[in-house]
C-alpha cells in the first residue's frame, strides 16, 4: 500500500535514455504544447498506455461472451467520451488508435489557449500558475488538469483577475484567434515544399547570369589579346631602332680614335 505521505509515481520513464527519434518527437511536443519538461509527456503516455492495455484485454474477453467484460468496456468508452477524448459512438478499436496528443489536447493549458484566453501556450501556463484561470466556481492552478466535456465551457478568468478588463495589455486582442494544434501542423507542412522551390529558383537565376557574363567576357577578350600582342611587337621594333641609332655614333668615335694613333705613328716614321 505504501505511506499516504509519499505518493507513488504517476508516470513511467522510457526504457532507453538515448533514442534519437524519441527525443526529437518529445522536443517537438514540448514546444508545441508549451510544456515545462518531458515528465508531462511521460504522464500522458502512461495514461494512454493504461487505456490501450485495458482495451486489448477487454477485446479478448468480449469475444468469449463474458458479461462482466461488456460492462467494463462500456464503462471505459463512457469515461473516454466524458473526457472528450473519443466521440460518443466509438468502439474499443478506436481506443487502440489514440495518440499522446489526444491526451495532451485535454489539458487545461491547451484549452485556455484554444479558447482565446492567452496568445501563446506558454502564456496560458503562466496565467494558470499565477491564479488567473477559473474552471466552474473554483480556481485551478495546475496546468496539467484534465478537463471534462462539461467543464470545457466553464473556463474563464477569475473574478479578482485584472485580465477581466478588455484594455489590459496581457490580454489577447479581439482580432486574435487561436489556431488548433492540428491546423498549425498542417500549415507548417504545406509551407515547407513551397519555400524550397523558391530557394532553388533564386539560386538558379544568378548562376545563369554568371555563365552569360563569362561567355561575353571570353568573346571580348580574344581581340583585346591580339591588339596587345601587336602593340608589344611595335614597341620592341622601336626599341631596336633606338639601340641601332645609339650604337652607330659610338662606332664612329671608335674609328676616329683608331685613326689618330695611326697618323701619329706614320709621322714619326717619316
In tens, the pLDDT along 72-84 reads 999 999 999 999 9
Task: Report angle CA 166, 144, 101 to the nearest 5 degrees.
Answer: 100
User: Checking phi first, is residue 212 left (phi over 0); if not, alpha (psi -120 to 50) or beta?
Assistant: alpha
Would you put residue 171 in left (φ > 0), alpha (ψ -120 to 50) or beta? beta
Say what the pLDDT of residue 222 is: 46
Contacts of residue 11, Cβ cutoff 8 Å, sequence gap at least 6: 39, 42, 43, 45, 46
Which of left, alpha, beta for 157 (phi over 0: left; psi -120 to 50: alpha)?
beta
Confidence (pLDDT) at 63: 87
pLDDT tens, N- to C-terminus, the chain (270 residues) = 567 777 888 899 999 989 999 999 999 999 999 999 999 999 999 999 999 999 999 999 998 888 999 999 999 999 999 999 999 999 999 999 999 999 999 999 999 999 999 999 999 999 999 999 999 999 999 999 999 999 999 999 999 999 999 899 999 876 666 666 655 555 444 545 555 445 554 544 555 555 555 555 554 444 445 565 677 767 776 666 665 555 445 555 555 555 555 555 555 554
- Could you tell me the three cell numbers for 198? 523558391
Q: Domains of the chain: which residue ranges? A: 6-104, 107-178
The predicted pLDDT at position 56 comes to: 95
Q: How many CB atoms lie under 10 A from the CB of residue 110? A: 25
Helix, strand or coil, per DSSP, at residue 116:
coil
Q: Model confidence over 193-218: pLDDT tens digits?
A: 555 445 554 544 555 555 555 555 55
Specify the CATH number of the domain 107-178: 3.10.290.10
Amino acid at each position: 500500500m505504501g505511506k499516504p505521505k509519499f505518493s507513488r509515481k504517476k508516470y513511467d520513464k522510457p526504457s532507453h535514455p538515448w533514442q534519437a527519434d524519441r527525443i526529437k518527437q518529445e522536443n517537438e511536443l514540448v514546444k508545441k504544447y508549451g510544456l515545462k519538461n518531458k515528465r508531462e509527456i511521460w504522464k500522458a503516455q502512461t495514461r494512454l498506455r493504461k487505456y490501450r492495455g485495458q482495451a486489448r484485454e477487454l477485446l479478448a474477453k468480449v469475444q468469449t461472451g463474458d458479461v462482466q467484460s461488456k460492462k467494463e468496456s462500456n464503462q471505459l468508452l463512457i469515461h473516454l467520451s466524458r473526457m472528450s477524448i473519443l466521440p460518443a459512438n466509438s468502439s474499443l478499436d478506436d481506443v487502440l488508435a489514440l495518440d499522446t496528443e489526444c491526451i495532451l489536447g485535454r489539458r487545461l493549458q491547451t484549452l485556455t489557449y484554444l479558447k482565446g484566453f492567452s496568445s501563446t501556450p506558454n502564456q496560458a501556463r503562466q496565467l494558470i500558475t499565477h491564479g488567473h484561470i477559473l474552471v466552474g466556481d473554483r480556481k485551478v492552478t495546475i496546468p496539467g488538469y484534465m478537463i471534462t466535456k462539461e467543464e470545457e465551457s466553464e473556463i474563464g478568468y477569475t473574478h479578482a483577475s485584472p485580465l477581466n478588463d478588455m484594455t489590459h495589455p496581457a490580454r489577447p486582442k479581439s482580432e486574435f484567434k487561436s489556431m488548433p494544434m492540428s491546423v498549425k501542423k498542417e500549415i507548417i507542412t504545406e509551407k515547407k515544399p513551397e519555400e524550397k522551390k523558391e530557394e532553388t529558383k533564386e539560386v538558379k537565376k544568378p548562376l545563369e547570369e554568371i555563365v552569360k557574363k563569362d561567355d561575353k567576357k571570353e568573346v571580348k577578350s580574344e581581340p583585346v589579346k591580339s591588339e596587345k600582342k601587336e602593340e608589344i611587337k611595335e614597341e620592341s621594333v622601336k626599341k631596336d631602332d633606338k639601340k641601332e641609332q645609339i650604337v652607330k655614333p659610338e662606332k664612329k668615335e671608335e674609328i676616329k680614335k683608331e685613326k689618330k694613333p695611326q697618323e701619329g705613328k706614320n709621322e714619326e716614321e717619316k
